[in-house]
Chain A
């Protein structure tokens, strides 16, 4: 608890005045969780900027997957539905479906991931982004977890086992 308060106040002290730039908060399990993003219980993140939402998987997710060797992504122009799979990642001989936290139209996919799937591990919130979507519902975005709620969610998930 004390560590989290210290980290929080440090993060606040370092906060950049531009609101759209996310900064770090620390979770007990030391997976990174970024402020300013929204999170799904299936460990995907959404960054909403203007009319476009970028989607990827979290640091917690990539850590539990292991080294990603293959990423399957949809085509731009297709659509995604909240809670439904839009692609998959392969690691340690396991393919894991990736679900979309929101519904909308896919406007761009990260084609660099076919050459460099490991970016999901090394940079899950930045270079490891998976798809960009034009959201069809703002209420879906609002119903997702904040960084604080997601941090607690991860801690509960890890602690109860």
Chain B
């Protein structure tokens, strides 16, 4: 039986995509060296389109030059998955965890990320389910409410999941989301008749679902999490 599992949660608020990426790279390196425990970043991004390792930029339907006009950035990443959009009112979790210590392969890890979003949806009476083969993500009927894109490097994860609480869905019209044509994108706001609490509460619930599904028995919150590491802070 494995020992007690500790998760350190960083609640980061609003973070620029590239800065979050740099932070993740540092944390992955620290986690590989066992300098830090399993870590979970909880945050939101300003309007950002991102591509995965396959660089499927044919799924961006407007010219890159147009993106500034709509107030969005574009980034190429090493994660799996196709093109997606991140923006305000979309809850993002980036787990930096050791899959080897947890005894999970990629497939089981992704299934648990799907379950995290499915469980959160159910708190609001929304019946979501995992995608069928080749449609990884979380769906309410034919409408996608949560997306996943992950990178695993020497057994350590980065990137993660994005759950639509109430983002501006118009932004999704400029892409073929996740490379899947003829399927809509939706949000918790659209799918539930329950009144939604503050986003802070919903993000906290998402973190709880994650911690429970992954079997963490100790969850601590990092005080004053910042993009700068302890060594980089200006004196």
Interface residues of A (CB under 8 A from B): 42, 61, 63-67, 69-70, 72, 85, 88, 90-97, 99, 157-158, 160-161
Q: Which residues of B contact A96 (CB under 8 A)?
A: 106, 152-153
Instruction: Flag whether B144 is at the interface (Cβ < 8 A).
Output: no
Judge whether B103 and A157 touch: CB under 8 Å.
yes
Judge whether B80 and A64 touch: CB under 8 Å.
no
Nearest Cβ distance between residue B131 and chain A, in whole angstroms?
Answer: 9
Q: Which one of B102, B134, B150 contacts A94 once the chains associate, using CB atoms below 8 Å? A: B150
In chain B between 141 and 187, which residues have their CB closer than 8 angstroms to a CB of chain A? 148-155
Q: How far is the CA of A93 from the CA of B151 in the complex (A)?
A: 8
Instruction: Flag whether B78 is at the interface (Cβ < 8 A).
Output: yes
Instruction: Flag whether B105 is at the interface (Cβ < 8 A).
Output: yes
Judge whether A158 and B103 touch: CB under 8 Å.
yes
Question: Nearest CB to that of A63 among chain B residues?
Answer: B105
Question: Nearest CB to that of A95 among chain B residues?
Answer: B80
In chain B between 19 and 64, which residues have their CB closer than 8 angstroms to a CB of chain A? 52-54
Known pairs A66-B105, A92-B110, A93-B110 / 6 extra A-B pairs, C-beta < 8 Å: A65-B106, A94-B151, A95-B150, A97-B152, A158-B103, A161-B102
Q: Which residues of B contact A91 (CB under 8 A)?
A: 80, 106-107
Q: Which one of B54, B106, B133, B150 contacts A70 once the chains associate, using CB atoms below 8 Å? A: B54
Q: Which residues of A contact B79 (CB under 8 A)?
A: 93-95
Q: How far is the CA of A70 from the CA of B81 in the complex (A)?
A: 10
A93 in contact with B103 given A64-B108, A67-B133, A70-B54 (CB within 8 Å): no
Instruction: Flag whether B216 is at the interface (Cβ < 8 A).
Output: no
Question: Nearest CB to that of A158 among chain B residues?
Answer: B103
Q: Which residues of B contact A97 (CB under 8 A)?
A: 152-154
Q: Which residues of A contact B110 (CB under 8 A)?
A: 66, 92-94
Interface pairs (9), CB distance under 8 Å: A85-B153, A92-B107, A93-B136, A94-B150, A95-B53, A95-B152, A97-B154, A161-B102, A161-B103
Judge whether B155 and A64 touch: CB under 8 Å.
no
**Most chain A CB within a 10 A radius of its CB, from B53, B105, B134, B148:** B105
Question: Nearest CB to that of A88 among chain B residues?
Answer: B53
Q: How far is the CA of A132 from the CA of B52 in the complex (A)?
A: 27
Nearest Cβ distance between residue A69 and chain B, in whole angstroms?
Answer: 7
Instruction: Flag whether B2 is at the interface (Cβ < 8 A).
Output: yes
Nearest Cβ distance between residue A58 and chain B, in whole angstroms?
Answer: 12
Question: Nearest CB to that of B137 among chain A residues?
Answer: A93
Q: How far is the CA of A99 from the CA of B152 in the complex (A)?
A: 12
Question: Nearest CB to that of B111 among chain A residues?
Answer: A92
Instruction: Flag whether B109 is at the interface (Cβ < 8 A).
Output: yes
Q: Which residues of A contact B109 (CB under 8 A)?
A: 94
Nearest Cβ distance between residue A25 and chain B, in whole angstroms?
Answer: 21
Q: Which residues of B contact A63 (CB under 8 A)?
A: 105
Nearest Cβ distance between residue B101 and chain A, in whole angstroms?
Answer: 9
Question: Nearest CB to that of A41 among chain B residues?
Answer: B100
